[in-house]
Amino acid sequence: MAVEPLIPPETVPPPPTKAVYGGFAYFKGAIVPFGEANVSIGTHALNYGTACFEGIRGYWNPEHQEIYLLKLAEHYQRFLKSTALLKIKLEENVERLCELTREIVRRDGYRTDVYVRPIAYKSSAMIKVDLHSSENAVAIFAMPMGAYSPIDGLRVTISSWRRISDNSIPARAKITGAYINTALATEDANAAGYDDCLMLTEDGHIAEGSAANFFMVQGRSLITPPVTDDILVGITRAAVMRLALDFELDVVERSIDRTEVYQADEAFLCGTGVQVAPIVEVDGRPVGSGRPGTITLGLQEAYFRAVRGADPRYRQWCTPVYGGIPRIT
């Protein structure tokens, strides 16, 4: 099971609200106080959803006195692929974006788990729906974040909202406007008393959770929808698939019918936000025993060891923040 880091009381931030309340940001080519990083209400991205983003976790290890940013370069590689889909051209490359992110978190001085949000957007104040007229910009900021959602057992429902198809809005890119799909599905699930939901493709297969990838366990097989079923190709998804090899699980990527989930031995969601979160109930039906399964809990424990820099086999996943990084001026 995941173990929350022990943080000296004087360094504990306010209770997590998922709201940003300070620190620094990269904005208009410089690192500035977060409160100074503001855009016009006419900004193209605000009016039309023409932006893309990443979510990057940083994990505090109190023994190492270090924050480890998880798969930092991989996130920025995907980020730049998303920008290409929206015809957003940035001057910053992967290496520069990584340097800026480490410096922002270092200046923030957090001694707890953090969440980093880079966003690339159409920045001109203009009313015109296209992808070529507006100027482009990028911003990066960070905030403290612990558990985004429960990691001890989720109750979910199959959403009546379908997952956006790749031929409507590319699901493989984290495009801001596309997340109204998530908001609609999550709102209905929460209003009905569920923690989250599973979303179907237009042809009725499981795509993913509202904003996380889906896995189910059948025997010794770990099964997840393929990249062609309108999923975000998750970085945490890839990490879990790698960890599964240590458990000698057969990893299978194939389409999943909704009724298979009702009969699964175990199931879970994974992603930067949810991390590795067991599903214990779907539409009022218990998954397996109705408690987090042993394979899921094993993968969850292995994941948290890896991301906090406690497993030397996966230290390459972790980029240190405070470990002798040159300052950016």
Alpha-helical regions (H) of 27-179: 44-48, 72-85, 94-108
CA dihedral 269→270→276→282, nearest 10 degrees, is 0
Residue the block writes with tokens 């998530």? 182
The domain segmentation of the chain, as residue ranges, is 9-146, 154-307
By CB neighbour count within 10 A (0-12 exposed, 13-18 middle, 19+ buried), where does 242 fall? middle
Tokens representing 159?
A: 């959403």
For the chain, 329 residues long, the average pLDDT of each consecutive 10-residue run is 33 47 92 96 97 97 96 98 97 98 96 97 97 97 88 96 94 95 97 97 97 97 97 97 97 97 97 96 97 97 97 96 62
At 5 the pLDDT is 34
How is domain 9-146 classified at the architecture level of CATH? Answer: 2-Layer Sandwich (3.30)
At 9 the pLDDT is 32
pTM of the full predicted structure? 0.90
At 22 the pLDDT is 79
Is the separation of the CB atoms in 36 and 27 below 8 Å? yes
Residue the block writes with tokens 């992967």? 94
CA dihedral 79→83→84→87, nearest 10 degrees, is 180
Q: Residue 185: which residues within 8 A CB-CB, separation 6 or more?
A: 159, 161, 197, 199, 210
In 219-299, the DSSP E strands lie at 221-224, 250-253, 266-271, 275-282, 285-286
At 225 the pLDDT is 98
Q: Residue 42: which residues within 8 A CB-CB, separation 6 or more?
A: 125, 126, 127
What are the φ/ψ torsions at residue 56 (nearest 5 degrees)? Answer: -125, 125
Does the domain at residues 154-307 carry the CATH identifier 3.20.10.10? yes
Q: Residue 30: which residues within 8 A CB-CB, separation 6 or more?
A: none
Instruction: Return the SS3 of 73.
Output: helix
DSSP string, 24-67: EEEETTEEEEGGG----TTBHHHHH--EEE--EEEEEETTTTEE
